Chains A and B, each alone.
Chain A
Amino acid sequence: MQIYLPIAELSVNALVLLGLGGLVGLLSGMFGVGGGFLITPLLFFLGIPPAVAVATGANQVVASSVSGVLAQLRRKAVDFRMGLVLLGGGVIGSAGGIWVFAALARAGQVDVFVQLCYVIFLGGMGAMMLQESLATLRRSRRPGAPVRRAHVHTWVHGLPFKMRFRASGLYISVLPPLAVGAMVGFLAAIMGVGGGFIMVPAMIYLLGMPTKVVVGTSLFQIIFVTAFTTVMHAVTSQTVDMVLALLLILGGVVGAQVGARIGLMLRAEQLRILLALLVLGVCLRVALDLLLTPDELYSLAPGVMP
């Protein structure tokens, strides 16, 4: 069933888009990531223009995050206070990212910069997560091994402006969450992602938040970052394709609910291993595009060049 996308200006198979949305929604519900880091590259492969893929991807992430956060809210797994602090940092980072993106677009280097960001951040985070969760799994297999302490004091705890985050059971400085938020906001603007794949590990390892509130809080923050991104793209570049978004969303919201169910059945360490493998897989795919000689050396872009 072919359908014409009014903003992307091409005709695609509606069932493929529904399936794509469903798959990404499933992963988003399981891991608490928005799924933008999957949907944007996948839309490229379908031949959707990059600008439309990034903007519409952000719009789809809003829907899957709303659907996911509602499930987490009922389990009381959202730390609103932490979410708001992260969001504060996110707005600052996003503004910086928009500025950098515009400068790169003028130089014609957006593609390579976005790809490098994917490789560096997906690769780094994926490797860290995999290594950590495999170590945890090994420890839990060896009975009698010492259990890691819940609160390890690091340099993070020596910083000023401390704040109490009751839902997370933390009393830490607001600076690290602000920095994490800013980092994620920056990447959201550049890569067209919600940033969950970076935020989830950062919350666990850097901020020391308990895993049970990480997913909900991450989704809560992602909703606002991607909502901001969507409206901004709609106003500045007019590249949000409502029809494309709706098809992805229809598949995505169903997938997210199923994913949340599956997530409940798996152990936290297993979830983290799976997410790490997924992140590394996407990283590898993007890295190959950078390293292998492309079939077509030339590319076309409409419009003006300075």
Chain B
Amino acid sequence: MRWLALLLLLACPARAETIVAGLSQTSVAITADFTGEEILVYGAVKREAPAPDGPPLHVIVTAEGPQGQVVVRKKERRFGIWMNGDAVRVDRAPAFYAVAATGPLGAILSETENLRHRITIPRAIRAVGISSEARDAPAFVDALIRIREVEGRYALDEAGVSLAEETLFRADVMLPSNLTEGDYRVRLFLLRGGRVVDWQEQVIPVAKAGLERWIFNLSREQPLLYGLLSLLLAAGAGWGASAAFRLVRS
């Protein structure tokens, strides 16, 4: 029995290299002057033995915002004007998704592992059964990715992770100013020869703070009160300006 255990231990290379990682911050607070934020993801590769020979080590870092359903519509020319025609519903698409890696994803990541861990942007979007909704459904998913890339919500940086001595690595993830609240999932993958050797996940809560928090909560929990307060604010400002101008004139 003891022999067998030892044999298994030696024959099991999966845990030979593991990730030790950290983030520059544990949460992101959206305040009135929020203009986006940069998160530093750093870490090291921990080894029981010297680095194995063979294909070089690669690291992929992904950051993913809350998932939501999205309707993608395509404009068509009808009656001489441009209006919405076909629509496709994408079941789940992250509000934010950034991928950074030490090299081209096509070269360092096998398709099987990509499917398993949903690493690349198209894989992070779940669009099952959309082909029945429109003739060219894949074009709708491409459009979703394109639009969100322009908005800075989706990003792919294949040279975004720097790796030193096959041990230390770091990546900067830019969170844009048009950020949606929620738990952001940061995943780190260690790869050799296209296979994931080890991976781990950390969560950064992104939440509105201070006055932004108060206003948002009021609008959701007490919508009538919020609406009346907005009115009061508007009417008050209108009256105040009128009174102030009369004062200036007299």
Contact = CB atoms under 8 A, between A and B. Distances in A.
A245 B84 contact: no
B238 A296 contact: no
B242 interface: yes
Interface string B72-85: 11110100111110
Interface residues of A, number: 59
Interface string A235-272: 10010101101100110011011000000000000000
Main secondary structure of the interface of A (DSSP, over half): helix
Interface in A1-59: 2-4, 6-7, 9-11, 59
Q: On chain B, which size bracket covers the interface?
A: 35 or more
Interface stretch (A152-160, A163-171, A206-214, A225-233): A225-233
Interface stretch (A104-112, A121-129, A183-191, A193-201): A104-112
Q: Which of B69, B77, B213, B238 has its CB near the most chain A CB atoms (within 10 A)? A: B238
10 contacts: A233-B227, A234-B224, A246-B237, A249-B233, A250-B237, A253-B241, A254-B241, A257-B242, A293-B77, A303-B69
Interface of B: 30-36, 68-75, 77, 80-84, 87, 89, 140, 143-144, 146-148, 177-181, 208, 211-213, 215-216, 219-220, 223-224, 226-231, 233-235, 237-242, 245
Given A253-B241, A256-B238, 17 more contacts: A4-B34, A6-B212, A6-B219, A11-B34, A11-B35, A66-B239, A66-B242, A67-B237, A67-B239, A68-B238, A112-B81, A234-B224, A246-B237, A249-B237, A257-B241, A299-B75, A302-B71
Interface of A: 2-4, 6-7, 9-11, 59-60, 62-68, 70-71, 108-109, 111-112, 116, 227, 230-235, 238, 240, 242-243, 245-246, 249-250, 253-254, 256-257, 289-294, 296-305
